[in-house]
Amino acid sequence: MIELFARLNAEGDLEELYGRARSQARTQPDQAIELLLSALLHTHGREESYAGVTQLLARLLVEQRQPRMALSAAWYAGNADDQRRLLENVPAIDRARTWAHWADREPESAVHHYRRAASELEHEGLLARAAVYYERAADPEAARTLWARLAQLLEGRDTDSYAAGLALFNQARTSHQLEDRSATRSATVAAVHRLEEAADRFEAIGQRERAFDCYHVLVAVGRLSGEFEHVLEGSVNAIRILTEDNLRYHALRLYEHAIRLAEQAGEHSAAATLAREMTDHARKQGMGHLARRYTMRQSQLWQRVAQGNTERGGPPQLSENAYLASLLAAVEAEQYGRVGALFRELAKLDIEPARTAHYARAARRYDDQQDARPETGGAEDRLGEHVAPPDVWHVDLLEWESGGSAAEACADVLLDPDALGDRITRRSTLVARLAALAAELAPEQSRPAGDTIVASYLAPVGLYELLAPLERLAASDEVEVRLAAVRALSRYFYKRTFVTLERALTDVDERVVGEASSAIERLRFDHAFDPLSRIYRTSGAAKARIAALRALARIDVAESAELALGVLDHGGPEEQQEMLAALRASRGDQFISAARAAYPGASQRLRVAIQDVFRHRGAAL
Amino acid sequence: MPVPPELASDPAIAGPLGSLALSVVAPRAPTLALRALRWHRDLQRLGIVLPLFVVHDLGLLLACDNEQLEVGPRVAVDTLLAAEPAATSAHRAYNEMVTEIAASEAARRSQSLRMGDDLVVVLLARLLGVIAEQVATTLSDPAGLPLDAQLVEHLGPQLPALFTSVPRHRETATLHGLVARRLLLLTLVDALDLDTLALFGLVGGDAATGAVAQVDLLSALGAPEANDVVDFSLEILPSVLEAKARPGASSHAAFGYAGLTRKGSIDSLVLTELAWDEQEMMRRLADDEVFYYSREQARDEARRIHLVLIDASASMRGDRATFARGMAIASAKQLMLAGEDVVFRFFDAHLYEPHSARHGQLPVGHVLSFKGERGRNPAKVFRELVNQLEIQALRDGRQPIVHLYTHAALYIPREIVAALTRLAHVAAIFMLPSGNQLHLDYLDLLHTHWVVDHQALTSRHTRAQEARRILGDLDGKASAWRAGAATGDGGEALAPRTGPSSRPQATTRRGQV
């Protein structure tokens, strides 16, 4: 069957292929299936025709005794009766997925479907998915047992500390639902140990996006256990990672969210320090409107700290400091009327009389002062709400349990209720799932060829959820498979992609190294600065270093501009020429402003290079 | 003529010195003007570029008594700026602004602190940093102005000539910028936190040890939470400072004799030792049986090293950090007064480099401004600490005592705490547990611990009281360890304690020891 996928081509239009397949369905079912699979490649076709293709394909695949593939087509078509007929001939995982899918569509019988699915998977030893389904079936007791078993299984493995941390957190969550305080406590402590360890390790090896997930879970741990220390730890570090990755809007949204959480927990000082950092961040990013708005928020938060402290009868010095901090923020925002009011508050505090007299005197200076009118109207003012990442304590464990299976990862996407609206991606995923199932059925000697084909079908999907299968394929013993996987990865614009590509740069086969270098050059996005600069600094492959430089030249962030100036000034001749060529063609403003600032103190070599870039881009120095 | 003709035409000399024609503060002693040259140079190193006259005027107002200064124009500025009427009126406004600053509370208090040049630079950087950013004087003075007192002595008559010898667009632009930001500058002056500098005076801060410490202190001055640390430290320090340095027996020559010892120099030999015959005398010398008078005050090398370990993870944000760092400063000072060696270390997911207190000075700037918040990994940090203490035990005979300042969610694996307590005395202070709950499975292993809850911190009277009590307890422990050391048994046994774990209470409490 897998050879069929090697032959597929999208020539002709969807309706024509469908029509031909229908006419051949009875007489030449093999031909019809090939035509229908080719039709599936028309991912932009009309839904009516596409659904028809999948229904006919499902029927023919049943006749060809391919129940898993038939069920996959039926999942897309969405006909429950067709699916039901296939259930007894498919493995437990597919049955369970189908029931879970029905549960999503039929809320009134959701508990029944989920429980059935969970029980089926539990017998198969798929603990994580079974536990998730038990949770959805509102059976925390059964779920907790499975999470505990999984945690125990993972506890001894050093390389799986993240998965162990997640399993333990799930154990803590379900124990909390069961109001078992002691079990909640011990599972929480163990989870925090493993998550802290995992976050530190991920940061050390440059996988900050995975560390981000750990911090996200830590916030959830804090909210579950009521220990705000964990919420702070998770939030502040998650913000740090977003900031370092130049994801400025995400960082600001998370700042807002963390401030709200701190206020809810009565941690006003922590909220005020977060507001101060948020102001600095916005200013550093050149977001003037937001910086001014946050400065005012900062001023208000410090004032709240002072008022709260005074109301509680706290030390007046704390109130004084908080009022002064509020006042300095107000000055920054040119709110001089407010400054006067704050000085008057300071004059009322129970502190040294000399100081209150001083504050009263100072207050008079602002008697006639008005607050500057806050500027509004910038598009950047509308930041929106922070959207928390998905429940990674489920999602990542399911990924871990799937062990990099392309068929399973594709099934997750295909049946994801949130992905129903994205037809094109669903269609690409369906084809990839069918190819992956065909590859699994292939005889041992055809497996490498099958994996190569699967990688090529995974390429157009580009979803984060399919990275794990590509990572597994990129670690294959077969060069062709690695090559196809690395080629596919060039369409996966995630920081995690670089982990596999960096490994590919040390491949024994030159073609894989070349393909990885090409992929690196294509993967240019703002938060790729970190891995790209690491590749430039550390890679032994000259091609890869040059590719990283070319990509860096096209990333419009301040750090990248600084690095470009460094290469122009101190890089080897080839690196300098490549950087020059890339900068001439780039469009970002960051390099222009960084170069202007550096020009007066620049070396002769750097000046010549800067002049060259400016001349080609028509910019004035 | 203070500036010789060959230098008077050099822009590197005439530029900054000539700008003093716009100065409105005249020092009565030329050495004070010399200090201003140094402040100006150091500020440029910190990236704060402003004409000399601004640095000179504000610096003198903050650093010197008013009696040493005369406030008012030093030369006929109207004539010098005759071509620019706007600049003339800006100078008049500048003069008024400086007069206001001279009368400010900040100027009055700062003069009483008698700050060294490094502290003045930090203070000026705090005041002028924002102004310098906003007043676009991008070009700094050319380097090369020597710090020579002769250059500024009796400079007045030469100022007009020096002023007109180079273009003065930068100075006039600065004048306009300053006047436009009058309220900003005056507010910064009024809101200046001088307590941090006072703390330096009390505990012997390290601002004078160079640019890095200056940057630390500058960062501390700009952080509102550092002000809280400082206030809290100042609140509890007087009780610490009441404790006089304990006299100790030593072989060093200082002050009076304290007793007899087996070690010493020939000048403190007990005279009756000379009564022995020559051979017996030599034997006694060889066997260390000879008696010497021991000296008071200067003590032999401490037999303990106190490791003040402060949690710098994000979990400490807000009031926890305030109390932890304030307490750490006060307890370190107390230990130093008792003649103990103190080392500060911060940790988050990493154990950072140690900063020793040297020559009676605490690294206050570092403690106030250190910012970690890069993850949290207590298992790794404390494993590393145990390893380091094991290695240290081989090289350094001093008994390590760990003072841990942290939050209530620091989950160190129990076996690591057990290993740590075998190597060192461990005293832990847990700050403000959320929900006033402290459940850590290793509390019974610690030699002593305290919990500081929200109620204790927010109550005006109990905060300092509780802090003093903890410090008193710590002092008591230190005395016990000292007594143990004096009797030669090295202090309390370092076996893990098996006392009951602390139970959460509504107020600050102390764990069982």
Looking at residues A137-152, what average pLDDT do you find?
95
Q: Quote ipTM for the complex.
A: 0.79
Per-residue pLDDT for B301 more than 60? no
Percent of chain A having pLDDT more than 90?
54
- Nearest CB to B376; choose among A233, A327, A331: A233
**SS3 of residue A192 by DSSP:** helix
* pLDDT winner (highest mean) among A255-264, A370-379, B65-74: A255-264
B317 — contact with chain A (CB < 8 Å)? yes
B193 — contact with chain A (CB < 8 Å)? yes
Q: Given this model, what pLDDT does residue B504 score?
A: 32
Mean pLDDT lowest among A76-90, A381-395, B56-70, B373-387: A381-395
Alpha-carbon dihedral angle through residues B257, B258, B259, B261, given to the nearest 10 degrees: -80
Looking at residues B323-349, what average pLDDT do you find?
88
Q: Where are the beta strands (DSSP E) in B65-165?
A: 69-71
Determine the distance in angstroms separating the CA of B367 from the nearest CA of chain A, rounded to an integer: 18
- Nearest CB to A197; choose among B377, B433, B439: B377
- Nearest CB to A327; choose among B187, B349, B460: B187
Q: Given this model, what pLDDT does residue A245 score?
A: 81
Distance CA A280, CA A193 (A): 32
B34 — contact with chain A (CB < 8 Å)? no
Q: Do B460 and A365 touch (CB under 8 A)?
A: no
Q: Are B67 and B27 in contact (CB under 8 A)?
A: no
Chain mean position to CA B247 = 26
Q: Are A539 and A573 in contact (CB under 8 A)?
A: no
Sign of CA dihedral B205, B208, B210, B214: positive
Look at strands B292-295 and B257-261 and give their pairing. Answer: antiparallel
Q: Given this model, what pLDDT does residue B98 score?
A: 93
Amino acid at B414: R
Q: Do A358 and B190 touch (CB under 8 A)?
A: yes
Q: Do B322 and A196 touch (CB under 8 A)?
A: no
How many other CB atoms are there within 10 angstroms of residue A154's CB atom? 21
Q: Given this model, what pLDDT does residue A167 score?
A: 96
- Give the 3-state secondary structure of A461-516: CCCHHHHHHHHHHHCCCCHHHHHHHHHHHCCCCCHHHHHHHHHHCCCCCHHHHHHH
Confidence class of residue A71 from pLDDT cuts 50, 70 and 90? very high
Beta carbons within 8 Å of B11's beta carbon, 6+ residues apart: B142, B166
Distance CA A607, CA A568 (A): 9
Confidence class of residue B253 from pLDDT cuts 50, 70 and 90? low
Contacts of B377 in chain A (CB under 8 A): 196-197, 199-200
Q: Given this model, what pLDDT does residue B201 score?
A: 64
Q: Given this model, what pLDDT does residue A332 score?
A: 86
Tokens (6 digits) for A527: 């938060």
Dihedral pair phi/psi, residue A476, rounded to 5°: -65, 160
Tokens (6 digits) for B503: 């139970």
Q: Do A200 and B435 touch (CB under 8 A)?
A: no
Determine the distance in angstroms separating the CA of A329 from the nearest CA of chain B, rounded to an integer: 11
Distance CA B501, CA B512 (A): 7
Per-residue pLDDT for B513 more than 60? no
Q: Do A309 and B458 touch (CB under 8 A)?
A: yes
How many other CB atoms are there within 10 angstroms of residue B253's CB atom? 12
Confidence class of residue B500 from pLDDT cuts 50, 70 and 90? very low
Confidence class of residue B488 from pLDDT cuts 50, 70 and 90? very low
How buried is residue B45: exposed, middle or buried, by Cβ count under 10 Å (0-12/13-18/19+)?
Answer: exposed
Nearest C-alpha in A relative to B439: A185
Q: Do A200 and B349 touch (CB under 8 A)?
A: yes
Counts for chain A of helices (H) and strands (E), in that order? 34, 0
Sign of CA dihedral A507, A510, A516, A520: positive
Q: For B278, left (φ over 0), alpha (ψ -120 to 50), or beta? A: alpha
Per-residue pLDDT for B491 more than 60? no
In chain A, what is the straight-line distance between the N-terminal and C-terminal CA atoms, in Å? 63
Per-residue pLDDT for B125 more than 80? yes
Amino acid at B446: L
Alpha-carbon dihedral angle through residues A604, A610, A611, A615, given to the nearest 10 degrees: 170
Confidence class of residue B495 from pLDDT cuts 50, 70 and 90? very low
Q: Are B249 and B258 in contact (CB under 8 A)?
A: yes
Q: Given this model, what pLDDT does residue A309 score?
A: 86
Amino acid at B291: F
Q: Do A196 and B314 touch (CB under 8 A)?
A: no
Distance CA A573, CA A177 (A): 64
pLDDT per residue as tens digits for the range A596-613:
888 888 899 999 999 999
Q: Do A227 and B408 touch (CB under 8 A)?
A: yes
B172 — contact with chain A (CB < 8 Å)? no
Q: Do A325 and B227 touch (CB under 8 A)?
A: yes
Confidence class of residue B138 from pLDDT cuts 50, 70 and 90? low
Confidence class of residue B457 from pLDDT cuts 50, 70 and 90? low
Q: Do B380 and A200 touch (CB under 8 A)?
A: yes
Distance CA B129, CA B463 (A): 35
Q: Given this model, what pLDDT does residue B257 score?
A: 67
**SS3 of residue A108 by DSSP:** helix
Sign of CA dihedral B59, B62, B64, B66: positive
Confidence class of residue B489 from pLDDT cuts 50, 70 and 90? very low
Tokens (6 digits) for B335: 């230990």
Look at strands B355-356 and B399-407 and give their pairing. Answer: unpaired
Confidence class of residue B209 from pLDDT cuts 50, 70 and 90? low
Tokens (6 digits) for A40: 């599936």
Q: How big is the CA angle at A167 (ends A163 and A170), to the nearest 5 degrees? A: 140
Q: Given this model, what pLDDT does residue B85 score?
A: 86
Q: Given this model, what pLDDT does residue B428 score?
A: 93
Contacts of B433 in chain A (CB under 8 A): 227
Contacts of A369 in chain B (CB under 8 A): 183
Q: Are A53 and A13 in contact (CB under 8 A)?
A: no
Residue with tokens 């807000």: B318
Distance CA B483, CA B492 (A): 9
Beta carbons within 8 Å of A104's beta carbon, 6+ residues apart: A110, A417
Residue with tokens 């988050």: B348
Look at strands B509-510 and B448-452 and give their pairing. Answer: antiparallel
Q: Given this model, what pLDDT does residue B490 score?
A: 39
Beta carbons within 8 Å of A74's beta carbon, 6+ residues apart: A54, A55, A58, A82, A83, A86
Please name every residue paired with B346 in a beta bridge, in sequence order, or none if there are none. B310
Nearest C-alpha in B relative to A339: B187
- Nearest CB to A197; choose among B227, B379, B459: B379
* pLDDT winner (highest mean) among A21-25, A139-143, A366-370, A560-564: A139-143
Looking at residues A373-402, what average pLDDT do you find?
76
**SS3 of residue B248 by DSSP:** coil
Amino acid at A97: R
Amino acid at B481: W
Distance CA B440, CA B407 (A): 11
Distance CA A238, CA A17 (A): 50
Q: Do A230 and B409 touch (CB under 8 A)?
A: yes
Q: Do A272 and B224 touch (CB under 8 A)?
A: yes
Looking at residues B62-90, what average pLDDT do you find?
85
Following DSSP, what letter does each residue of B340-402 receive, concatenated? -EEEEEEESSSBPPPEE-BTTB--HHHHHH----S---HHHHHHHHHHHHHHHHHH--SEEEE
Q: Are A521 and A547 in contact (CB under 8 A)?
A: yes
Amino acid at A235: S
- Give the 3-state secondary structure of B447-504: CEEEEECHHHHHCHHHHHHHHHHHHHHHHHHHHHHHHHHHCCCCCCCCCCCCCCCCCC
Helix (H) or strand (E) holding B27: strand B25-27
Q: Do A358 and B459 touch (CB under 8 A)?
A: no
Per-residue pLDDT for A376 more than 50? yes
Looking at residues B179-194, what average pLDDT do you find?
87
- Nearest CB to B191; choose among A312, A318, A324: A324
Q: Given this model, what pLDDT does residue A377 score?
A: 53
Beta carbons within 8 Å of B92's beta carbon, 6+ residues apart: none
Q: Are A601 and A565 in contact (CB under 8 A)?
A: no
Q: Are A1 and A434 in contact (CB under 8 A)?
A: no
Q: Do A328 and B313 touch (CB under 8 A)?
A: no
B463 — contact with chain A (CB < 8 Å)? yes
Amino acid at B63: A
**SS3 of residue B311 by DSSP:** strand
pTM given for the model: 0.80
Helix (H) or strand (E) holding A126: none
- Nearest CB to B315; choose among A233, A312, A328: A233
- Nearest CB to A318; choose among B193, B228, B313: B228
Q: Please, what is the angle between helix A161-177 and helix A127-136, to 10°?
A: 30
Alpha-carbon dihedral angle through residues A601, A604, A607, A608, given to the nearest 10 degrees: 180
In this predicted model, which residue has the larger pLDDT, A515 or B229? Answer: A515
Longest dimension (CA), chain B: 96
Q: Do B460 and A200 touch (CB under 8 A)?
A: no
Determine the distance in angstroms separating the CA of A276 from the nearest CA of chain B, rounded to an integer: 9
In this predicted model, which residue has the larger pLDDT, B285 or A187? Answer: A187
Q: Given this model, what pLDDT does residue A80 score?
A: 87
